[in-house]
Chains A and B, each alone.
Chain A
Amino acid sequence: MFNPDAVGKSRKSSTTFKVTQESISNFAHAIGESEVINSPVTYSIMISLGPSQTLLEDNGLDWTRVVHGDQKFQNNRPLHAGDEVTCTSTIESYRAVAGNEIVTVRTDLHCGAELAQVQWTTLVVRG
């Protein structure tokens, strides 16, 4: 059972993620893109996945019943090789609807003081 009082809880990743040209190229290649100076628009999901999962697990999320409901990216700029990204994930909303639970987590991706990208991930926990 997810902790309904988790809304507003936040967790900053303890380490930074260093963006490499190789990781951008691998992601681009997997989706059929070839030119790779700017990160593809959804690339940063690979950075936020771990930190947001940790926050959700700390608050009782049961992954065996989870479906990815929706996803949003607000990209102030693409990421580039050499960027050092810090993630801060926050549980933004929680509601129980018709036996399912719906949780939205926001992750802010900072490069130093600059807010480069923000993501929202909504998960549906099936009852």
Chain B
Amino acid sequence: MDYAGGARMRVVELGYQIPAETYKINRATLVEYANAGGDQNPIHQDETIAKSVGLPDVIAHGMLTMALAGSYVTKWAGSAAAVTEISSRFTKPVVVPAGVDVEITISAVIDEVSARQVRLEITAECAGVKVLGMAKATVSLL
């Protein structure tokens, strides 16, 4: 994805806090992501199965949350081609009850800057809980 102007407007400075963005997901999002991403594990769609394995309800794919983090970084970077690395741990599940939109808020801080690239430390929160751990991305400035 490319965003005209995104790269031109940005601040590249150690410690800079990139403005947060909020993403809304619901059960329909999970079905769409399962079909697009090829992960049909029923714990992401079927409440009965999710509860049978001890989860409070259906949970989002960790990879969906990571994909949203990827989108967030891409928007700041100006192009997916500039995002050369992204990594994350999946620390807490994003619970998605039926009939509601769940909000995931993503933000990042610049924690390394060189002439060629910057490293971002990403935070993803749902209902005040951090759902990704050690999430980082590298954005090329070339």
Residues of A within 8 A of B (CB): 23, 26-42, 45-46, 49-50, 67-78, 120
* Residue numbers in B under 8 Å from A78 (CB-CB): 80-81
Query: Does B127 sit at the interface, judged by CB under 8 A?
Result: no
| Interface contact A41-B70, CB-CB below 8 Å | yes
CB closest chain-B residue, reference A64 = B53
* Residue numbers in A under 8 Å from B67 (CB-CB): 27, 30-31, 40-42
* Residue numbers in A under 8 Å from B68 (CB-CB): 31-32
B13-64 at interface with A (beta carbon < 8 Å): 23, 29, 32-33, 35-39, 62-64
**12 more A-B residue pairs beyond the given contacts A40-B1, A68-B62, A68-B63, with a C-beta to C-beta distance below 8 A:** A26-B36, A30-B29, A30-B33, A30-B36, A31-B67, A41-B73, A41-B83, A49-B39, A67-B90, A70-B87, A72-B85, A73-B87
CB closest chain-A residue, reference B74 = A41
* Residue numbers in B under 8 Å from A67 (CB-CB): 90
Residue of A31, A34, A75 with highest tally of chain B CB at under 10 A: A31
| Interface contact A40-B85, CB-CB below 8 Å | no
| Interface contact B71-A31, CB-CB below 8 Å | yes
| Interface contact A46-B66, CB-CB below 8 Å | no
Question: Chain B, interface size: which category?
Answer: 35 or more
- 26 pairs from A and B in contact (CB 8 Å cutoff): A27-B67, A30-B29, A30-B33, A31-B67, A32-B68, A32-B71, A33-B1, A35-B2, A37-B2, A38-B79, A38-B80, A40-B67, A40-B70, A40-B74, A41-B71, A42-B63, A45-B38, A46-B37, A49-B38, A49-B39, A68-B62, A71-B63, A71-B66, A72-B86, A73-B86, A75-B83
Query: Does B89 sit at the interface, judged by CB under 8 A?
Result: yes
Nearest CB in chain B: distance from A68 CB, A? 5
A70-B64 contact given A30-B33, A33-B1, A42-B70, CB 8 Å threshold: no
CB closest chain-B residue, reference A66 = B41
Query: Does B88 sit at the interface, judged by CB under 8 A?
Result: yes
| Interface contact B90-A42, CB-CB below 8 Å | no
* Residue numbers in A under 8 Å from B35 (CB-CB): 26, 30
* Residue numbers in A under 8 Å from B70 (CB-CB): 31, 40-42
* Residue numbers in A under 8 Å from B81 (CB-CB): 38, 77-78
